[in-house]
């Protein structure tokens, strides 16, 4: 099933894939440094994607118990050969908070 994408906009929320989890794992150290916390659980739940010069992702991440975070991650084009960058985050979030662009 193709992802519904509006030009310049984010896709509809969809269940996180293994690829999204790998991206989230790569930015976990950045998130932990920004929040000055360590997280045992860091599991991507849902995500939205936006095509730019690379990809922007909004990802709801389960932090354990009833704690969630919303992450905004930029993944440069493959030819750039750079790792994903955590550009923004929102905490605290709940399981039911909608994943809206920020």
* pLDDT tens for each residue of the chain, 102 residues long: 445 544 579 999 999 999 999 999 999 999 999 999 999 999 999 999 999 889 999 999 999 999 999 999 999 998 989 999 999 999 999 999 999 999
The verdict on domain 15-93 having CATH code 3.10.450.10 is yes
The strand order across the sheet containing 67-76 reads 14-15, 43-52, 54-64, 67-76, 85-93
Q: Cα separation of 90 and 30, whole Å?
A: 14
Q: Is the pTM of this model over 0.85?
A: yes
């Amino acid at each position: 099933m193709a992802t519904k994408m509006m030009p310049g906009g984010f896709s509809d929320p969809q269940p996180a894939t293994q690829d999204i989890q790998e991206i989230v794992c790569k930015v976990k150290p950045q998130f932990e440094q920004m929040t000055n916390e360590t997280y045992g659980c860091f599991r991507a739940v849902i995500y939205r994607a936006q095509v730019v010069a690379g990809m922007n992702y909004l990802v709801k991440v389960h932090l354990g118990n009833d704690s969630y975070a919303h992450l905004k991650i930029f993944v440069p084009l493959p030819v750039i050969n750079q790792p994903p960058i955590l550009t923004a985050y929102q905490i605290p979030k709940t399981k039911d908070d909608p994943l809206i662009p920020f």
